[in-house]
A and B are shown apart, each in its own frame.
Chain A
Amino acid sequence: MSDIAFSRAEMLPQKAPPATSVGAVGWARENLFSNWFNSILTILSLIVIYYVLAAFIPWFASPTWNSGSLAECREIFAAASGEGGHGGACWGVIRERWVQLIFGFYPPDLYWRPIAAFVLLAVAIAPVLFSDKVPARLIWFTALYPFIFPWLLWGGTIWGPLAALGGFVLGFVVYRAVSAAMSELMGLVLGLVAALIWWLVLSGYAVGFLDGILPIGIEAVESRKFGGFMLSITIGVVAIACSLPLGIVLALGRQSNLPIVKYLCVGFIELIRGVPLITLLFVASVLLNLFLPPGTSFDIILRVLIMVTIFASAYMAEVIRGGLAALPTGQYEGADSLGLDYWQAQRLIIMPQALKISIPGIVGNFIGVFKDTTLVSIIGLLDPLGLSNAIRADSNWNGVVWELYGFIALLFFVFCFGMSRYSMYLERKLQTGHR
């Protein structure tokens, strides 16, 4: 006998959670209206979003794709709404000028060349970016690409890029031959000397001679016809590709324990980082010819490329130095205790780790360099912003603001946002830490 009146023998079935804490309502209560302050913020945000969309959507969806001038757009709005003035976007300017915004004044019958160059660029960087997804032998194409790229864009005889490539081949052959016969160091020095003699002295004659007997080439395009996004991407890609190795060398120099090398690197890096890019572009446009032997004058795009590369490499050096400094000393000591020499240690132990640590910074720098290519519009090159000034000065499109800048901003956004997403992917892929 027990005096317990009731004892449950089986479990009750679970009740469903209250309707206010699951589903959309529960989510909204937790994430949008968790307290009075959040509720106010949510309502304010909704109002802001409503006003922005209410202004943007009708503006965006305006039927002006075929208009030929701003005045024509205004007529369309007036016909549609009965009252003139405001209305919507005037997309005619994009229809009429988008080709120019992308290719500048490049000859229209040669558009296939920049397109081919950029498609091949995608092929060439694939083995670098997605090394685990494409065949490894594609890297040979990547090595050849720096010679194909300028030839496709600027055109001219094929012997020029082949002669430049020949310098590398010659240097390598001399290096192999001499280092087998004498010492490795002599091989390095003589290989370099042979390549330099080829490039600076002999290649000019060789190109002239070969072009004389076998003129293979495509139509040359002058630099001043370059413009639009093609120019931005050209400057961006060259500066990005050249600044990474230069930056690594500068960073190693700055971390070196040879005082003269170190202070030369520190001085260079701080000098370049201390001045705005625009002053360096002024140097490119007016001073660089003063610094070179009298009578030398070379292409403005090449001068800009040199200065942008120098600028980017100083920033790159600082990012990589951060990665080097973040490595524990044990890594350096471990490399030493394995008997590796300096370059082996850098190549096999230090750099793979340091570069991995600095991926976010490196990609951030790439994005910065790509955005900074717009500055060339200030020294008169016709990048998208330079072209937009010209378009807005055209009497047909005087007064167009949002459509034009919106289009340019969208293209830049796609590239930069893509790069930052890629950096996140790369960080995840290389993640080996235990977090």
Chain B
Amino acid sequence: MTTLTDPPKEQFRLSMLLYDSRYRSATIQVIAMLLFMLAAAWLINNTAQNLAALGKPINLSFLGQPASYDINQRLLEYTSTDTHLRAALMGLLNTLVVAVLGCITATVIGVFVGVMRLSNNWLIARLMTVYVETFRNVPVLLWIVLSMAIMIETLPAPKAFRGDNATASTVLNDSVAFTNRGVYVPEPLFSRGLGDIQLLGNSSLRFDVSLDLIAFLVVLFAGIWAARRVKHRADSVQEATGDRPTTWYIRLGLIVVPTAILLVILGFHLGYPALKGFNFQGGTHMRNSLIALWLALSLYTATFIAEIVRSGILAISKGQTEAAAALGLRSNRIMSLVVLPQALRVIIPPLISQYLNLTKNSSLAIAVGYMDITGTLGGITLNQTGRELECILLLMLIYLVISLSISGVMNWYNESVKLKER
């Protein structure tokens, strides 16, 4: 006869920390943590000693001192008497400007090229392949400095536009001037404008908000909202009766007419650039550093986007298209209702990470002298104040925040389009 006895109570032995899988993971983690803390302490201790030896304790007060350098391309008003903090803000806005412009153009070019690479036209598909392979196998920095060099060397100087026998001329009905100092485009002006409101008083982060712009956006979005209501109403009528009332002209009118009326009331007109003295005056001046950076980043990133779009469309199995055709859908509806919704799920996550890459690559602005955040905070401010540690850590922190926000958007999107399975 056998009796069941409890297993003998195990004594805890030191070797079980290594050989017993219940404890081993804890041991490894404690060792990892200790090593990490030792390394961190070593680095911090070294840094503290070095900084003490240099007589430069960590201090952010330099951000409040006058920057005393000029930023030639900026969104808000800024003078060289403003603080380093405001200079960094101008830089940050410049980074965001070139990133947003670049993302938009790169998407447009990339989608076009990606679709064209799938074209059944042999010649155009080969041309697009040549473009993609050329641009993505050469460093983006080379494209940036090359565009800058081309703009400086080949575009005419402003004085070439002068006189009766000018060798250069403005284009698009005298509205856009391409010069070697940059591109001048018309600017929107309001003759009966509502003025600006100034926010944050006199601080380094002050900015003006144009009431004209706010009014324009409010009316525009109200129009879009009303047009969507009309569309919903048409949908419900169609569901109830089977007939869809024709509403496209109402919807278009709801968006266009109020906005147009508002623009007339505010006295909207375009300010054209005009040659005065040695340079163009009026209009918006986009410096050639901005144009070169924008152009190179767009053309370079567009090749990656083209590949993403191409593989996204190829990833949708042919059965989907055929099934949709069997249901009697027309080819544009097949694209918009069946293929695109599925392809976008494949396309958008890598697309957003390309946007992230473009934003990070915009830091190469420093090579052409565009004053983005790297050029201001990590460039001139660093050199003037000698605060390497603070400047570079702040710079990295800012980029980190931008990156994490973009990847936050991506995670939210992935979550919302995930296939909902039971």
B138 adjacent to A49 (CB under 8 Å): no
User: How near does chain A come to B151, taking the closest CB pair, in angstroms?
Assistant: 10
A264 adjacent to B400 (CB under 8 Å): no
Interface range for B: 35 or more
- Could you say which residues of chain A place their CB within 8 Å of the CB of B367? 377-378
Given A264-B32, A279-B392, A290-B47, are A399 and B363 neighbors across the interface (CB < 8 Å)?
no
User: How near does chain A come to B364, taking the closest CB pair, in angstroms?
Assistant: 7
How distant is the Cα of A275 from the Cα of B49 in the complex, in angstroms?
27
**Dominant secondary structure at the B interface:** helix
CB-contact partner of B364 in A273, A286, A375, under 8 A: A375
- Could you say which residues of chain A place their CB within 8 Å of the CB of B33? 260
B145 adjacent to A385 (CB under 8 Å): yes
A290 adjacent to B120 (CB under 8 Å): no
B389 adjacent to A275 (CB under 8 Å): no
How distant is the Cα of A378 from the Cα of B366 in the complex, in angstroms?
8
B389 adjacent to A278 (CB under 8 Å): no
Segment 325-368 of A: residues with Cβ below 8 Å from B: 367
Segment 114-135 of B: residues with Cβ below 8 Å from A: 119-124, 127, 133-134
Closest to A278 in B: B363
- Could you say which residues of chain A place their CB within 8 Å of the CB of B286? none
How distant is the Cα of A294 from the Cα of B51 in the complex, in angstroms?
10
- Could you say which residues of chain B place their CB within 8 Å of the CB of A290? 46-47, 50-51, 388-389
User: How near does chain A come to B56, taking the closest CB pair, in angstroms?
Assistant: 10
Stretch at the interface among A30-38, A57-65, A168-176: A30-38
How distant is the Cα of A271 from the Cα of B28 in the complex, in angstroms?
23
User: How near does chain A come to B253, taking the closest CB pair, in angstroms?
Assistant: 32
Given A260-B32, A408-B142, are A276 and B119 neighbors across the interface (CB < 8 Å)?
no
Segment 90-130 of B: residues with Cβ below 8 Å from A: 119-124, 127
- Could you say which residues of chain B place their CB within 8 Å of the CB of A258? 25, 28-29, 32
A185 adjacent to B18 (CB under 8 Å): yes
A276 adjacent to B392 (CB under 8 Å): no
- Could you say which residues of chain B place their CB within 8 Å of the CB of A371? 137-140
- Could you say which residues of chain A place their CB within 8 Å of the CB of B127? 45, 48-49
Closest to A48 in B: B127
How distant is the Cα of A291 from the Cα of B39 in the complex, in angstroms?
11
- Could you say which residues of chain A place their CB within 8 Å of the CB of B32? 258, 260-261, 264
User: How near does chain A come to B347, taking the closest CB pair, in angstroms?
Assistant: 17
A32 adjacent to B392 (CB under 8 Å): no
User: How near does chain A come to B55, taking the closest CB pair, in angstroms?
Assistant: 13
How distant is the Cα of A46 from the Cα of B122 in the complex, in angstroms?
12
A45 adjacent to B47 (CB under 8 Å): no
B378 adjacent to A405 (CB under 8 Å): no
Interface string of A383-408 (1 = CB under 8 A from B): 00100110010000001010001001
Segment 308-367 of B: residues with Cβ below 8 Å from A: 360-361, 363-364, 366-367
- Could you say which residues of chain A place their CB within 8 Å of the CB of B361? 276
User: How near does chain B come to A433, taking the closest CB pair, in angstroms?
Assistant: 16
Segment 11-54 of B: residues with Cβ below 8 Å from A: 18, 25, 28-29, 32-33, 36, 43, 46-47, 49-51, 53
How distant is the Cα of A371 from the Cα of B135 in the complex, in angstroms?
12
How distant is the Cα of A285 from the Cα of B124 in the complex, in angstroms?
46
Question: Does A427 have its Cβ within 8 Å of any Cβ on chain B?
Answer: no
- Could you say which residues of chain A place their CB within 8 Å of the CB of B73? none
How distant is the Cα of A405 from the Cα of B120 in the complex, in angstroms?
34
A294 adjacent to B363 (CB under 8 Å): no
Interface range for A: 35 or more
B146 adjacent to A405 (CB under 8 Å): yes
Question: Does B404 have its Cβ within 8 Å of any Cβ on chain A?
Answer: yes
Question: Does A194 have its Cβ within 8 Å of any Cβ on chain B?
Answer: no
Question: Does A372 have its Cβ within 8 Å of any Cβ on chain B?
Answer: yes
CB-contact partner of A34 in B120, B134, B137, B140, under 8 A: B120
CB-contact partner of B150 in A279, A287, A374, A401, under 8 A: A401
A289 adjacent to B378 (CB under 8 Å): no
- Could you say which residues of chain A place their CB within 8 Å of the CB of B29? 258-261
CB-contact partner of B360 in A275, A385, A389, under 8 A: A275
Segment 82-136 of A: residues with Cβ below 8 Å from B: none
Question: Does A380 have its Cβ within 8 Å of any Cβ on chain B?
Answer: no
CB-contact partner of B122 in A31, A278, A417, under 8 A: A31
How distant is the Cα of A371 from the Cα of B140 in the complex, in angstroms?
8
Question: Does B153 have its Cβ within 8 Å of any Cβ on chain A?
Answer: yes
How distant is the Cα of A264 from the Cα of B382 in the complex, in angstroms?
30
- Could you say which residues of chain A place their CB within 8 Å of the CB of B382? 286
- Could you say which residues of chain B place their CB within 8 Å of the CB of A32? 121-123
- Could you say which residues of chain A place their CB within 8 Å of the CB of B68? none
How distant is the Cα of A259 from the Cα of B28 in the complex, in angstroms?
11
Closest to B153 in A: A401
- Could you say which residues of chain A place their CB within 8 Å of the CB of B18? 185
B133 adjacent to A41 (CB under 8 Å): no
CB-contact partner of B137 in A286, A289, A399, A413, under 8 A: A413
User: How near does chain B come to A289, taking the closest CB pair, in angstroms?
Assistant: 7
How distant is the Cα of A407 from the Cα of B18 in the complex, in angstroms?
59
How distant is the Cα of A150 from the Cα of B137 in the complex, in angstroms?
27
Interface string of A278-307 (1 = CB under 8 A from B): 110011001101111110000000000000
Question: Does B396 have its Cβ within 8 Å of any Cβ on chain A?
Answer: yes
User: How near does chain B come to A283, taking the closest CB pair, in angstroms?
Assistant: 6
Segment 140-191 of B: residues with Cβ below 8 Å from A: 140-142, 145-146, 149-150, 153-154
How distant is the Cα of A399 from the Cα of B49 in the complex, in angstroms?
48
Question: Does B403 have its Cβ within 8 Å of any Cβ on chain A?
Answer: yes
Question: Does A423 have its Cβ within 8 Å of any Cβ on chain B?
Answer: no
How distant is the Cα of A261 from the Cα of B378 in the complex, in angstroms?
32
How distant is the Cα of A392 from the Cα of B400 in the complex, in angstroms?
35
A-B contact pairs, 22 of them (CB 8 A): A31-B123, A32-B122, A38-B121, A41-B123, A260-B33, A271-B400, A273-B403, A274-B400, A274-B404, A279-B392, A279-B399, A287-B392, A290-B50, A294-B49, A371-B139, A374-B142, A378-B366, A399-B153, A401-B149, A401-B153, A405-B146, A412-B142
A interface list, Cβ under 8 A from B = 31-32, 34, 38, 41-42, 45-46, 48-49, 185, 257-261, 264, 270-271, 273-279, 282-283, 286-287, 289-294, 367, 371-372, 374-375, 377-378, 385, 388-389, 392, 399, 401, 405, 408-409, 412-413, 416-417, 420
| Known A274-B404, A385-B145, A409-B142; further 14 A-B contacts with Cβ < 8 A | A32-B122, A41-B121, A41-B124, A45-B124, A49-B127, A260-B33, A264-B36, A290-B46, A290-B47, A371-B140, A385-B139, A388-B145, A399-B153, A401-B149
B interface list, Cβ under 8 A from A = 18, 25, 28-29, 32-33, 36, 43, 46-47, 49-51, 53, 119-124, 127, 133-134, 136-142, 145-146, 149-150, 153-154, 360-361, 363-364, 366-367, 374, 378, 382, 388-389, 392, 395-396, 399-400, 403-404
